[in-house]
Amino acid sequence: MSRPPRPTSSSRSNCSGGVFDWEPALRKLDELNARVEDPTLWDKPDEAQAVSRERSRLSAQVEGVQSLERDLADALGYAEMADEEGDEASLEEARAQLKAIKERAGRAELEALLSGEADGNDAYVEINSGAGGTESNDWAGMLLRMYSRWANAHGMEVDFLEETSGEQAGIKSATLQVKGTNAYGWLKTEAGVHRLVRISPFDAAAKRHTSFASVWVYPVVDDNIEIEINPSDVRTDTYRASGAGGQHINKTDSAVRLTHIPTGIAVACQTQRSQHQNREQAWKMLRARLYEVELEKREAAQAAIEEQKTDIGWGHQIRSYVLQPYQMVKDLRTDVETSDTQGVLDGDLDEFMGAALAQRVGATRA
């Protein structure tokens, strides 16, 4: 077994592909720690929260590099000992450990690319079924489950803000708030139309059907980010809540939908008993959507927002999920594909997200 070199302090800056600059990062972390410990900082809550978030993000990056170093040193030491003793079983175990460390380092490298203005923020994920009635509603429900499982697998919290059930199955629409480090940075790669091909469980003739659903992702913005919205440009509609949990809160018109007339952007919230609370959350969501519009305008490598929200159908999909006549999930932007369709539908999306993120960052740099 060939032995890779042991890690040294000089190699730390390369643990994430040369993007993570080690010594400046440590100095910056020391500065942030000192600022957080300064009691006068908390006289300005917004600034204190921003500093605290930046410290948490940088601390996680530093700890991630240190953890990789420790685990790599341990695995190499174990491999050397097994090699000296001629223990092939232990050598195979060491190879597996090194492979896992390599995968972690690859993810850390991609996370180092999440340097966009809002990449570190929480995210709103909006799912809408396309034309096709029950078939598309069921497909949208499957996507809702897929993203919930992905978030849970990465230690993120999921709040259901709005859900409109389909007549027979699935959902017509739903909005999630995913809370966790770099939630928006990862999930933004999922925005687009998703296509499903399968034998319909709702078709007595067992024919193959194609269904579409759209996914839209935008960042949760801080209260101190100023987004000017003319109240006269916003239409407010109230209605009775439905969907999961709706049976407990649908006795009054507590749900709120806001529509920004100039852009056609609409958001809805129904999770609270109080119309006032739902309205407050909906305004936060609207501000976030309009902020996302501004972010999209700054990214020359990405299409304008209205071009991404075109018809939910043929010619606009970013990924195809084929369950019959064969098993294949393929991303049409990166050509990444897998036959493990059930794994993907259970939330195993990292390979697709990573490839799309690397492509997106590469296009922006080019």
| pLDDT at residue 316, as a whole number | 66
Cβ contact 269:246 at 8 Å = no
| pLDDT at residue 6, as a whole number | 42
- Residue 168, CB half-sphere, CA atoms under 13 Å: how many? 10
Cβ-proximal residues to 123 (8 Å cutoff; 6+ apart), any chain = 177, 178, 183, 184, 187, 188, 217, 218, 219, 220
Q: What is the pLDDT of residues 157-170, one digit of tens each?
A: 999 998 998 888 89
**CA dist 208 to 203, 302, 331, 342, Å?**
9, 34, 21, 18
| pLDDT at residue 214, as a whole number | 94
Residue 26 to residue 22: CA distance in whole angstroms:
6
Q: What is the DSSP string of 225-271?
A: S-----GGGEEEEEE---STTGGGTTTS--EEEEEETTTTEEEEE--
Please tell me if the domain spanning 14-111 has the same topology as the one spanning 123-365: no
Residue 33 to residue 26: CA distance in whole angstroms:
10
Q: In what order do the strands lie in the sheet with 255-260?
A: 234-239, 255-260, 265-269
End-to-end Cα, the chain, rounded Å? 39
| pLDDT at residue 249, as a whole number | 45
Where is average pLDDT lowest: 7-16, 42-51, 303-312? 7-16
CATH topology for 14-111 is Methane Monooxygenase Hydroxylase; Chain G, domain 1 (1.20.58)
| Angle at which helices 88-111 and 45-85 cross, to 10° | 160
What is the distance of C-alpha 24 from the center of its chain?
A: 28
H or E segment at 293? helix 275-298
- Asked if the model's pLDDT at residue 1 lies above 50, the reply is no
Which CATH code fits 123-365? 3.30.70.1660
Secondary structure of residue 172 in the 3-state scheme: strand
Percent of the chain predicted with pLDDT > 70 = 82
Strands 192-199 and 317-322: parallel
Encode burial over 295-316: b for 16+ CB neighbours within 10 A, e otherwise.
bbeeeeebeebeebbeebbeeb
Cα angle 229-232-234, degrees, rounded to a multiple of 5 = 65
Cβ contact 182:111 at 8 Å = yes
Higher-pLDDT residue of 119 and 349 is: 349
- Asked if the model's pLDDT at residue 303 lies above 50, the reply is no
Residue 158 to residue 305: CA distance in whole angstroms:
25
Q: Is the torsion defined by CA of 344, 349, 351, 357 positive or negative? A: positive
The domains of the chain are located at: 14-111, 123-365
Percent of the chain predicted with pLDDT > 90 = 36
Partners of 206 in the β-ladder: none
Q: What is the pLDDT of residues 255-274, one digit of tens each?
A: 899 999 988 889 998 887 78
Q: What pTM was estimated for this model as a whole?
A: 0.66
Residue 166 to residue 150: CA distance in whole angstroms:
23
